[in-house]
Amino acid sequence: MGDLEDFIQAPEHRPKLALSHADGIPTIDLSPIFNSLPGSDFPHDLVHQIASACTEWGFFLVVNHGVPPEKRHRIEAAAREFFGQSLEEKRKVRRSEGLVTGYFDSELTKNVRDWKEVFDLVVEDPTIVPASPESDDEELTQWTNQWPEYPPEFRESCKEYVEELEKLGHKLMELLALSLGLSAKRFQHYFKQQTSFLRINHYPPCPSPELTLGVGRHKDPGVLTVLAQDDVGGLEVKRKRDGEWIRVKPVPDSFVVNIGEITQVWSNEKYESVEHRVMVNSEKDRYSIPFFFNPSHSTIVEPLKELVDSQNPPKYKSYSYGKFLTNRQRSNFKKLNTDNIQISDFKITN
């Protein structure tokens, strides 16, 4: 997983301990969605809870979410079997610049700051994206999945799980839309030919956890992230009101949901994407499975017209999500001459 001696952070950059185990992060019960009659509206109280959580935290947990626990358990078991293999076996399906799905680790990417190994897969196989950030809109390419031979059930367990997370993602987007005063189906068309993907993370025990992170502080660039974390924990959220790091305590059979930067732009900053990071420990392996719900490559991201007016003008210029995505992906394989593109590059400053 890389040599820690090559990465001794300056004291001011070393991860600080979270303030507490957290507990202010809201937990939202989604059972009213499934208990209501077909065709009926979502309960107002549930919509209000979503609005409050997105405004105050940018993060929340969901329970009674409709994802069958056996499908989650199946993919978690397959992940442990896959990552338990030798490095040689895992690297048979390693990703490359020409094949962006599959296995990688911090040594492959020369990034010892992130103490983890990963398996990535796209939801739509193939996923259509621009050939490069500089390409014309008509110049497209495809991202396809590659699958390991072992464990034999790995592929099917991933596909079944992704189907369930996609359903949950659409339900959450309906709630988000209603919480913003929009129609429930306002976001639906953005996800035709979606660029969503699933990542399976393994964080091995780290001999010097105080010197590194599982994942450094960052914000998610997509629409919405739905995370399954195991009972080890390690996810920390930067609390909006005071900037303190708060540990997200694992809750059995829950998902952690966070707002991505596209939603921040769409909502014209009514909802903000929040920084988060992952801590490692010296004793236990940790596994997590984030589902990144992302729109079509052809999506032009900009503040929604319903949410801007003369009193609340647009805070962002429009940008092509497909070109943004391929720029980010390219930086995983080569050092670029410029800094990685950020949504702050599109911020309108007065």
Domain spans of the chain, in order of start: 4-336
**Distant-in-sequence, close-in-space partners of 226: CB < 8 Å, separation ≥ 6:** 165, 168, 169, 172, 255, 256, 257, 290, 291, 293
Query: How many angstroms separate the CA atoms of 293 and 127, rounded?
Result: 13
Is 0.85 topped by the overall pTM? yes
**Confidence at residue 210, expressed as pLDDT on a 0 to 100 scale:** 65
State the CB neighbour count (10 A cutoff) for residue 13.
Answer: 10
- Residue 93 CA neighbour count, 13 Å, CB half: 24
Query: How many angstroms separate the CA atoms of 51 and 138, rounded?
Result: 38
Burial class of residue 98 (count of CB atoms within 10 Å of its CB; 0-12, 13-18, 19+): exposed
**Confidence at residue 2, expressed as pLDDT on a 0 to 100 scale:** 42
The low-confidence residues of the chain, meaning pLDDT below 70, are 1-23, 37-40, 106-113, 209-213, 331-340
- DSSP one-letter code for 270: S
Place of tokens 């959450």: 172
**Confidence at residue 4, expressed as pLDDT on a 0 to 100 scale:** 37
Distances (CA, A) of 295 to 190, 196, 304: 5, 7, 15
What is the second-level CATH architecture of the domain 4-336? Sandwich (2.60)
CA dihedral over 106, 12, 243, 250, signed as positive or negative? positive
**Confidence at residue 109, expressed as pLDDT on a 0 to 100 scale:** 46
Q: Amino acid identity of 229?
A: Q
CA dihedral over 45, 48, 54, 57, signed as positive or negative? negative
CA dihedral over 319, 102, 225, 334, signed as positive or negative? negative
Given a contact cutoff of 8 angstroms between Cβ atoms, the answer to whether 30 and 55 are in contact is no
CA dihedral over 98, 102, 106, 108, signed as positive or negative? negative
